[in-house]
Amino acid sequence: MIVGIDLGTTNSAIAYINAYGKPEIIHNREGGRTTPSVILFEGNETVIIGEEAKNNSVLDPFNTIDFIKSEMGNPQYKFISGDIAFSPEELSSLILKKLIEDAEEVLNTKIEKAVVTVPAYFNDAQRKATQDSGKLIGIDIVKIINEPTAAALAYGLLHNSDPQNILVYDLGGGTFDATIVKVNGKEVIVQATDGIRDLGGRDFDDKIIEYAIKVFNEKHGIDLMDIDYVKELQELRRRGENLKKALSTRVESQLYISCKGIREAITITRDQFNEMIKPLYNRTEIIVQDVLHQANLSPKDIDKILLVGGSTRIPLISEGLKEAFGITPSKEVNPDEVVALGAAIQGSILEDGIKEIKDSKLIIKDVSSHSIGVISIDSKSGDKINSIILNRNSPLPAKSRRSFYTIEDNQEAIKLQITEGELEEIDYITIIGEFEIKLPAKLKRDTQVDIEMILDENQIIHVFTSIPQISGFFEEVHIERESNLKSEELEKKKDIVSKIEID
């Protein structure tokens, strides 16, 4: 069995294909259909994960960690518990461990493989960090797929319909993705995708909290951002999140603050909240317009808007999208569960070896999330620049070629640095592979060298180098993304994680 996992910023979910060939959420041991992605350390060898950890975070904020997804792929980040420094991969692996153990208990079967979803904008390091999280607990993450693709996949299976252009608007706890997908019966074709790595429900909470802190400080002269009020701030954050949720169904609600014997009730209306978060929504609208442009579509070409992620329950989101597109966003799928369901469908496809499930043939066509290129020398400035060969949103498998030229007579080799990123400036891109190509002797300066790249459906980059004027010169390299962790480091972390019990 290959399960599907939505490893979310604020909540995670796990699903499988049941005996009737339908994707189904697996509830956790507490009976919940989603699990808060919150970890509470009780010493170095016991953790609490989920709702209880979230509720107790107010009492023990220094031993509680959440929003770890935003740090995936960041080698500098460490969470200290006792005498152990935990990396994002280790922390994420504990959440995976909780999901897997609960699912095994419910299904009464061993789970060894999973498809895990990530935001569409996740780069190579972040995707590899996610795979490493699985390795740390002995789970083979057989495929990483983009969250909007998973959502569209679930919709395509569950709603056999006429051809439609669908906007998947995915706004979670800490991330945002916008994806244009063409669904034609059981054919799911991703046309364009983009996102923002640091925008989600947490940012909406922050707007409420900033307002409440300002009001409380003006009235009582107490700044809750002071280090002395960590627990009060943690409690305020919890209440701010609850108020945000309340304003999805009510026109106003109250936020209670307790500090130093003072109890203050602050009333916030939905209109006030909308005013606070409108600039954040506007940022998502810019991304939406960009993916429309990338897909060569206009708002009138969109037949349906799928809302994914808990933050899409905020009324301003639906209202803004309705105004922009002239259609009411669909509520046909559960925004908290649809991504995990889609991941389970992808897992079943891989497991069966054929693209069939529930007696329906599925065809999935995704796009490249980032541009791929090489470092070259600008002929005018002499500076190193990023030369893109495969553009972002190229349908997979993608293929493209560019010509470059040697920079001196008798040049012996080319150092190829494979890049990921959209900008020319090399400070803003990631080098994901390096190798050297030996050149034939006695080449003249400005000899043409062609570099062709193929990015296959498994995200493996194939690089082909040729010199048109020299018949028979041909070099081929395949770049399969390596783990962020060295084997020794992986085994050491595996040992640490294996000793941690989830209470």
Average pLDDT of the chain is 90
Q: Does residue 128 sit within a domain?
A: yes
Cα 262 to Cα 139: distance, rounded to the nearest angstrom = 50
- Say if 20 falls within a structural domain: yes
pLDDT band, very low/low/confident/very high, at 359 (cuts 50, 70, 90): very low
- The better pLDDT of the pair 345, 473 is held by 345
Beta carbons within 8 Å of 138's beta carbon, 6+ residues apart? 112, 494
pLDDT exceeds cutoff 50 at 356: no
Measure the CA–CA gap between 176 and 93, rounded to whole angstroms: 23
- Say whether both 384 and 352 belong to one domain: no
Closest CA to 302 of 169, 393, 186, 199: 169
> Hey, is 106 helix, strand or coil?
helix
- Given a cut of 70, is residue 361 above it in pLDDT? no
Residues 353 and 392 in one domain: no
Asked if 164 contacts 304 with a C-beta cutoff of 8 angstroms, the reply is: yes
Between CA 165 and CA 133 the distance in angstroms is 35
pLDDT at 252: 95
Q: Are 483 and 490 in contact (CB under 8 A)?
A: yes
The pLDDT value given to residue 484: 65
Q: DSSP alpha helices (H): ranges in 295-419?
A: 315-325, 338-352
- Domain limits for position 138: 1-159+334-365+483-503
Residue 293 lies in a domain: no
pLDDT tens digits, 107-118: 999 999 999 999
Lowest mean pLDDT, pick from 223-237, 244-258, 376-390, 478-492: 478-492
Contact partners, residue 229, CB within 8 Å, separation at least 6 = 222, 223, 259
Q: What is the predicted pLDDT for the residue at 354?
A: 43
Same domain, 121 and 245: no
- Same domain membership, residue 82 and residue 30: yes
Quickly state the pLDDT bin for 353 (edges 50, 70, 90): low
Tell me: do 34 and 131 sit in the same domain. Answer: yes
Same domain as 382, residue 358: no
* Residue type present at position 335: P
Could you tell me the CATH number of the domain that includes residue 267?
3.90.640.10
CA dihedral 7, 79, 127, 393 (to 10 degrees): 90
Residue 350, pLDDT score: 85
| 444 is a domain residue | yes
What is the CATH classification number for the domain harbouring 376? 2.60.34.10
Residue 52 confidence (pLDDT): 92
Burial class from Cβ neighbours inside 10 Å (0-12, 13-18, 19+) for residue 33 reads middle
CATH of the domain at 147: 3.30.420.40
Strand partners, 454: 399, 462
Of 485 and 238, which is predicted with more confidence? 238
Could you tell me what percent of the chain has a pLDDT over 90?
59
Considering the domain boundaries, does residue 358 fall inside one?
Answer: yes
Do 127 and 11 share a structural domain? yes
Asked whether residue 43 carries a pLDDT value surpassing 50, the answer given is yes
Q: Taking the model in full, what pTM does it have?
A: 0.86
The verdict on residue 179 lying in a domain is no
C-alpha torsion sign, points 461, 466, 472, 474: negative
pLDDT at 231 exceeding the cut of 90:
no
User: Is residue 364 classed exposed, middle or buried when 0-12, 13-18 and 19+ CB atoms within 10 A define those classes?
Assistant: buried
Same domain membership, residue 429 and residue 493: no
CA distance 214 to 212: 5
Confidence bin at 227 (pLDDT 50/70/90)? confident
Write down the pLDDT at residue 470: 86
| pLDDT above 70 for 142 | yes
Does any domain span residue 455?
yes
What's the pLDDT tens digit per position in 288-320? 999 999 999 999 999 999 999 999 999 999 999
Domain boundary among 274, 291, 322: 274
CA distances from 274 to 282, 333, 334, 391, 409 (A): 11, 25, 23, 36, 64
Residue 357 has pLDDT above 60, yes or no: no
CA 213 to the chain's CA centroid: 31
Going from the C-alpha of 378 to that of each of 374, 384, 485, the distances in angstroms are 12, 6, 34
Is residue 158 very low, low, confident or very high in pLDDT (cuts 50, 70, 90)?
Answer: low
pLDDT-based confidence at 160, cuts 50/70/90? low
- Tokens of residue 102, six digits: 């609960």
Residue where one domain finishes, among candidates 228, 245, 274: 274
**The pLDDT value given to residue 285:** 96
Q: 150 lies in a domain?
A: yes
Q: Are residues 1 and 75 in the same domain?
A: yes
Q: Bridge-partner residues for 357, per DSSP?
A: 360
Q: Are residues 152 and 12 in the same domain?
A: yes
Cβ count near 84 (within 10 Å)? 14
pLDDT tens profile 183-222: 887 788 899 999 988 899 999 999 999 999 999 999 999 9
Q: Are residues 99 and 22 both part of a single domain?
A: yes
Alpha-carbon dihedral sign for residues 15, 159, 181, 359: positive
Q: Please count the residues of the chain.
A: 503
Q: Do 246 and 208 share a structural domain? A: yes
Count of C-beta atoms within a 10 Å radius of residue 359? 6
> In the chain, how many domains are there?
3
φ, ψ (nearest 5 deg) of residue 195: -170, 180
